[in-house]
Chains A and B, each alone.
Chain A
Amino acid sequence: MVSIWFLIGLLLTAYGVLIAAAGIYQVLVPPAQPPVLAGLHAGIWWGLLILAIGLFYCWHFQPRKTK
């Protein structure tokens, strides 16, 4: 059976890419009504953090490594 952590890793990797990309896009094309503290660019660093977690889970719990 595939580890649940691997499945979580897959989803987080996809989410990390999407969120970081959306954050970068907002820097390039600022929205008309930005959220509070938009200058912190939370989307970029939070997306990258999620991407890192996702990639780690995918690597560490990949099916060939787990019995």
Chain B
Amino acid sequence: MLRLFVPQTNVLAALLAGAPERLVRLGSIDALIVILYFAMVIGIGFYLKRYATTGEDFFLAGRDMSAWIAGLSFVAANLGALELMGWASAAYQYGILATHWYWVGAIPAMLFLAIVMMPFYYISKTHSVPGYLKLRYGEGARGLSAITFAAMTVLMSGINMYSMALVMKVVLGWDIHFSIWVSSLTVAVYVFLGGLLSAIFNEVLQFVLIWLGALLIPILGLMEAGGWNGMVQRISSNLTGDYTHLWRTLGSFQDNPMGIHWTGIVLGLGWVISFGYWTTDFLVVQRVLSARNLHAARMAPIIGAGFKMMVPFIVILPGLLGIALLPEKLVGESVAAATGGHSYNEVLPLMLARYCGPGLLGLGITALIAGFMSGMAGNVSAFATVWTYDIYGAFFRKGASDSHYVSVGRWCTLIGVLISIGTAYLVMQFLSIMDYVQALFSFFIAPLFGTVLLGMLWKRATPAGGFWGLLAGTLSSVGMWLWVKLDPPALGIIALSSNAKDMAENMYRALWSWIICVLVTVLVSLATRPKPQSQLAGLVYGCTEIPSERELKLTQRPIFWAGVVCAVFLLLNVIFW
């Protein structure tokens, strides 16, 4: 295993050798702010250890979280490296199109989770998404889903670590290995001690810090650029092409910097990838399962959706402001390493260094670290739950005591962190963090969404149908990815155009794998014996009694707030059309 990392370390050394000098030097105030943050998150872990004694406490935070806590945690777990550095980088490369990942690529799915899917997750009392598959389809689908999820989770965690280490290298000149080990071991300590409860508490704290630390960049950036119109004018003078409209350029693959068609955005991203991620990825669903009752569990994703709509302000806007205001043109990772310039991935720290003096800089750096740690903690706590219940408890040691599983969960946290540290170095091979993550999503998440959706909404879906559909969808996705890697002209078939770029390819590959999963599930189900309806109670639409909310006032009903969020979502898309 160590041998595997030797070439990665060489790549790392080359990158560091080509890296520019550090952007800033932290003063004593900044260092104090960062140290206070680390002390607080570890202190929270020690404080909450006494409340994490049972499996329900450790893996599901005692199922006692309010809608607000669960909702903020739901969004914060997703505010990792992907969101902060990755999407600021994507905004610099692709312009405002990156916002689709926050709006059409998130909001409808989050509302769908709240209104349609949450009752089945919650009423079935499952502890995980693979756990739901076990109840609905049996051990085969659960095992396949759990193993793929565990693999994806540690890879995601590695992305988080790599991104954080990049920030520390570029901004502070810190040793990349030091950054990875300090942050990851901190996460390991507080999740080890307090489990999901500790992860959720810290995620809410991190969410607040991320906003307070990152919000100044767009505010000051817009002031410098002369407002939104001033920024658009500067971008137009710096670049050719439309970087500031969401939908106007999506009629053709060639008209936009992402090389994507609106069908890819709507069907690939807005339907398959988005719904797959937000409704079946246990990393985020676990946060909602911790809610204290069904009403809170339905409100949590709606609250999360409201905040999610605002995140582009602190992530996408800095990327756009980077195009407008930064004096040098940012380049890809490999070019940056060769020339000593700055890469796309550094746009957010560059903007931070541009505006923040002592104190604010410490807060900004803390916000970045918090973002990375919340993403990492989300991955690690979800990994520990799925490994303990759905792999270890299902295939290695069934029927052990609750305290034994808690102990296994704690040690899984440490092991998960160590595996993630290893994967962090593998991420260095990829030129764009975003494309890598999207590829992973389409491998596992898109087919899983097909399996869960049919399981919840179609009584006729059978255990064999669920298993073979999920397997066929996953294998077909990996197969399409390999096909394009080995035979690049195949891109024209997978993504419907040879002009499509990586992002577009991922969207369409996700769509095809979802369709294959659904088709195989339906065909196999029709050919096999369904479960009796008595075994589907609490799991499937039509067999489950969902508590009525008619006695609640209009403003207390989830459907009302889902409508409000939906209206704002539509309005934003029209404004930035």
- Determine the chain A residues whose CB is within 8 A of the CB of B357 once the complex forms: 22-23, 26, 31, 34-35, 38, 42-43
A35 and B212 within 8 A (CB): no
Interface of A is mostly: helix
Contact digits for B199-211, partner A, Cβ 8 Å, 1 yes 0 no: 0010011001100
Q: How far is the CB of A13 from chain B (nearest CB, A)?
A: 11
Whether the pair B37, A11 counts as a contact (CB closer than 8 A) is: yes
Contact yes or no, B359 A19, CB < 8 A = yes
Q: CA–CA, A15 to B26, complex, Å?
A: 15
Q: Quick check: B212 and A37 within 8 Å, CB to CB? A: no
A28 close to B (CB within 8 Å): no
Is B32's CB within 8 Å of the partner chain A? yes
Smallest CB gap from A57: residue in B = B208
Q: Does B75 contact A (CB under 8 A)?
A: no
Q: For the complex formed, measure the closest distance between the CB of B380 and the CB atoms of chain A, giving whole angstroms.
A: 19
Report whether A11 and B36 are in contact in the complex, using a CB–CB cutoff of 8 Å.
yes
**Cβ–Cβ < 8 Å partners of A18 in chain B:** 29, 32-33, 359, 362
6 extra interface residue pairs, beta carbon distance < 8 Å, beyond A18-B29, A22-B29: A12-B208, A18-B32, A19-B33, A37-B355, A38-B357, A40-B220
> Interface of B with A (CB < 8 Å)?
27, 29, 32-33, 36-37, 40, 44, 47-48, 51, 69, 201, 204-205, 208-209, 212, 216, 220, 223-224, 353-360, 362-363
Chain A neighbourhood of B358, CB < 8 A: 22, 25-26, 31, 43
Q: Which residue of A lies closest to B215 (CB)?
A: A46
For B223, give its contact among A2, A10, A31, A37 (CB under 8 Å): A37
Partner among A1, A47, A53 whose Cβ is within 8 Å of the Cβ of B51: A1
Once the chains are docked, how many angstroms separate the CA of A29 from the CA of B209?
27
Q: Is the CB of A35 within 8 A of B33?
A: no
Pairwise interchain contact B355-A42, C-beta atoms closer than 8 A? yes
A53 to B475, alpha carbons, bound, how many Å? 50
Most chain A CB within 10 A, of B204, B356, B357, is at B357
Q: 8 Å CB contacts to B: which residues of A28-67? A: 31, 34-38, 40, 42-43, 46-47, 50, 53
Contacts of B212 in A (CB 8 A): 12, 15, 50, 53
CA distance A35 to B355 in the complex (A): 5
B382 to chain A, nearest CB (A): 20
**A21 to B353 alpha-carbon distance, docked (Å):** 19
Bound-state Cα–Cα, A15 to B33, Å: 7
Is there contact, CB below 8 Å, between B223 and A8? no
Expressed in whole angstroms, the Cα–Cα distance for A23 and B360 within the complex equals: 8
Residues of A within 8 A of B36 (CB): 11, 14-15
Given A11-B205, A40-B223, A42-B220, A35–B29 Cβ distance below 8 Å? Answer: no
| Contact between chains at A4 and B359 (CB < 8 Å) | no
The chain A residue sitting closest to B361, CB to CB, is A35
Q: How far is the CA of A11 from the CA of B40 in the complex (A)?
A: 8
Q: Report the nearest A residue to B27, measured CB to CB.
A: A22
B223 touching A22, Cβ below 8 Å: no
| Measured CA separation A46–B361 after assembly (Å) | 12
Q: List 10 A-B pairs, Cβ < 8 Å.
A: A4-B205, A15-B363, A19-B29, A21-B29, A34-B357, A35-B353, A37-B224, A40-B220, A43-B360, A53-B212
The residue from A7, A19, A34 contacting B360, defined by CB atoms under 8 A apart: A19
B215 smallest CB distance to A (angstroms): 9
Please determine whether B47 and A2 come into contact, CB atoms closer than 8 angstroms: yes
Smallest CB gap from B50: residue in A: A1
Q: Are B354 and A46 in contact (CB under 8 A)?
A: no
In the bound complex, how far is the Cα of B353 from the Cα of A34, in angstroms?
10
- How far is A18 from B40 in the complex, measured between Cα atoms in Å? 16
User: Residue on B with the closest CB to A38?
Assistant: B357
Shortest Cβ distance from B366 into A: residue: A15
* Residue on A nearest B200 in the bound complex, by CB: A4
Q: Which residues of B contact A12 (CB under 8 A)?
A: 208, 212
What's the Cα separation between A34 and B361 when bound, in Å?
12
Set of chain A residues within 8 Å of B355, measured between Cβ atoms: 35-37, 42
Q: Which chain B residues border A34 with CB–CB below 8 Å?
A: 357
Q: Which residues of A contact B354 (CB under 8 A)?
A: 35-36
Cβ contact within 8 Å between B201 and A22: no
Let me know if A23 and B359 touch, CB within 8 A.
yes
A14–B32 Cα distance when bound, in Å, is 10
- A1 contacts across to B, CB distance below 8 A: 48, 51
Q: What residues of chain A lie closer than 8 Å to B205, measured between beta carbons?
A: 4, 7-8, 11
Roughly how many angstroms separate A42 CA and B354 CA in the complex, as a whole number?
13
A44 closest partner in B (C-beta): B359
Contact across chains for B359 and A21 when beta carbons are under 8 A apart: yes
Q: How far is the CB of B515 from chain A (nearest CB, A)?
A: 43
Question: Which of B27, B69, B359 has the largest count of A CB atoms less than 10 A from its CB?
Answer: B359
| B residues in contact with A43, CB < 8 Å | 357-360
Chain A positions within 8 Å of B44 at CB level: 7
B359 with A7: CB separation less than 8 A: no
Residue of B nearest to A25 (CB): B358
Q: How far is the CB of A5 from chain B (nearest CB, A)?
A: 8
Q: How far is the CB of A29 from chain B (nearest CB, A)?
A: 11
6 closest A-B pairs by CB: A22-B359, A19-B359, A22-B29, A22-B358, A4-B201, A35-B357
* CA gap between A9 and B360 in the complex, in Å: 18
Shortest Cβ distance from B204 into chain A, in angstroms?
A: 5
- The residues of B that contact A47 with a CB separation of less than 8 Å are 359-360
Q: Are B32 and A46 in contact (CB under 8 A)?
A: no
- Measured in the bound complex, the distance between the Cα atoms of B209 and A50 in whole Å is 10
Asked if A4 meets B204 with Cβ closer than 8 Å, knowing A14-B36, A18-B32, A35-B356, the reply is: yes
Please report the C-alpha to C-alpha distance between residue A65 and residue B360 in the assembled complex, in whole angstroms: 32
A42 to B358, CA, bound (A): 11
* Selected contact of A37 from candidates B47, B220, B359, CB within 8 Å: B220
Cα–Cα, bound, A38→B44 (Å): 35
Q: Measured between alpha carbons, how far is A46 from B216 in the docked complex, in Å?
A: 8
The contact of A8 among B204, B360, B363, by CB within 8 Å, is B204
